[in-house]
Amino acid sequence: MPILSIIKNNTMGNMLCSKVPAEDFNIGSQLIVAEYEEALFMKDGIIEEVFQPGKYTLTTENYPFLTKLTSRLLTGGVSAYNCKVYYINKSHHLELKWGTGTPVRVIDPTWGIEVHVKARGAYTAAVKDGKKFFLKMVGANVAANENDIVKNFRTAFIQHITDSLAEYLTSQEQEVLVVCNRKKALADDMLVTLNSILDEYGMELINFYIESIEIPEDDECMQRIRELRILRQEKIFDREQTMADERVKFNIRRESAQTDRYESGQWASADYERMAIRDQDGNNGWARQEAAEIMKTTAGNEGMGGAFASAAMGIGVGAHMGGMMNQMYDQQAGGSAAPKTICPKCNAVVAPGMKFCGSCGSPIEVAKPKCPECGAELMPGMKFCGNCGKPIAPQKRICPTCGKEVPEGMKFCGDCGTKIDTEN
């Protein structure tokens, strides 16, 4: 085997650990370590030195450990030594696949039904401590590649992944299908958990990815959950539809009530306008108009009921016509109907000649105060006569019923109990 003067790594990038084929090297040879590598010098099963990235000239002056390796071999008059050199690849190894071989059995928190969940993904790993990695992971195997990582850590990874997956799916208190879409949160938690496994072997987990968490389409339990979900959606739809119908009915009733109130208001306004006829002639014109409407309605009826109604109507008409004839006779006799007196307080009709209202007892004609000096009428509240200028003494309050004087401030007569009009 040739003696090398330049030592470097010529293996493929997917190798994590590779041994330099030669074991004899010249004193003063060049050692080249790339930035993503470490170089281990081993003699008799002991790692003598770990070289970090850089270019090194191996002499006994620079590296005293070489004196232990010096042998009697000569190559071109130069001493040589024998040892083993291992290169450790510390670059990131991407897309290392993982997956659950058998489905994980989980109880759906919403439906209480067992479902079977599968998951798969990938992770990125790298060597953090080359010497520790070599001693615990490589050892007598001489070399290690990416497949060795996947093979050696598969069981440990799957154990932690399945436990964490089941705990995560059941702790969210939601349907498993909903939680399955939250892959990043679970992946972030798994990164910390799985990193402790690799750390024991001088490695670190850079990234952990979950490609999918899914339930097989042919899973009978999942089909049952789909049926229950459809039933629930139908019930929700029926309930919402019923509520919508009730809202429509309520709006219709409300609009009908508003229409009824509007019509009632219109009828009341019409009645008020018709009753105003009474004030035009003072002869109860509203009642006369209602009688005319009744006559028109009753006259159209047929049969015995119509006959009796017509007879009754005839009696009423006769009485009414008699009253009208009397009024016409009075007018032809040269006298006009005496105007009716209205109570100024309650608007009741007062018989002619009455001085007090028969409904409320208020005086019909209130005597206006007069000046005691000149006899001129005084306006309410005047303290001096507007005609002669004499001061006006306060007027005594006299009970209109018994004629007794009522003290100022009293609302009722102390003798007969008659209410005193405070406005006068």
Q: Would you say 227 and 113 are in contact if contact means Cβ atoms under 8 Å apart?
A: no
Q: Give the residue numbers spanning the domain of 409.
A: 394-424
Q: Tell me, what's the pLDDT at 424? A: 47
Based on the structure, what is the number of domains in the chain?
3
Q: Tell me, what's the pLDDT at 409? A: 73
Maximum distance among all Cα pairs of the chain, rounded to whole angstroms: 174
User: Is residue 110, in this structure, part of any structural domain at all?
Assistant: yes
User: Which has more pLDDT, 122 or 357?
Assistant: 122
**What residue ranges in 34-171 does DSSP mark as E strands?**
37-43, 46-51, 54-57, 70-75, 78-82, 84-89, 93-99, 104-107, 114-127, 144-145
User: Is residue 85, in this structure, part of any structural domain at all?
Assistant: yes
Report the percentage of the chain scoring pLDDT > 90.
12
Q: Tell me, what's the pLDDT at 34? A: 92
Report the percentage of the chain scoring pLDDT > 70.
75
Phi, psi of 123 (to 5 degrees): -145, 160
Q: Tell me, what's the pLDDT at 185? A: 86
- Segment 79-97, tens digit of pLDDT: 667 788 999 999 998 888 9
User: Is residue 116, in this structure, part of any structural domain at all?
Assistant: yes
User: Which has more pLDDT, 214 or 359?
Assistant: 214
User: CATH number, domain at 172?
Assistant: 3.30.479.30
Question: Mean pLDDT, the chain, as a whole number?
Answer: 78
Distance between CA atoms of residues 323 and 317, nearest Å = 10
Average pLDDT over residues 357-386: 76
From residue 384, how far is each of 114, 326, 372, 387 by CA, in Å?
A: 107, 52, 11, 9
> Is 374 a residue whose pLDDT tops 50?
yes
Average pLDDT over residues 395-415: 79
Same domain, yes or no: 154 and 98: yes
Beta bridge partners of 64: none
Same domain, yes or no: 10 and 60: yes
* pTM, full prediction: 0.50
Distance between CA atoms of residues 8 and 31, nearest Å = 6
Using DSSP's 3-state secondary structure scheme, residue 229 falls into helix
One-letter amino acid for residue 49 of the chain: E
Q: Which of 114-123, 247-256, 278-287, 309-318 shows the lowest per-residue confidence on average (mean pLDDT)? A: 309-318
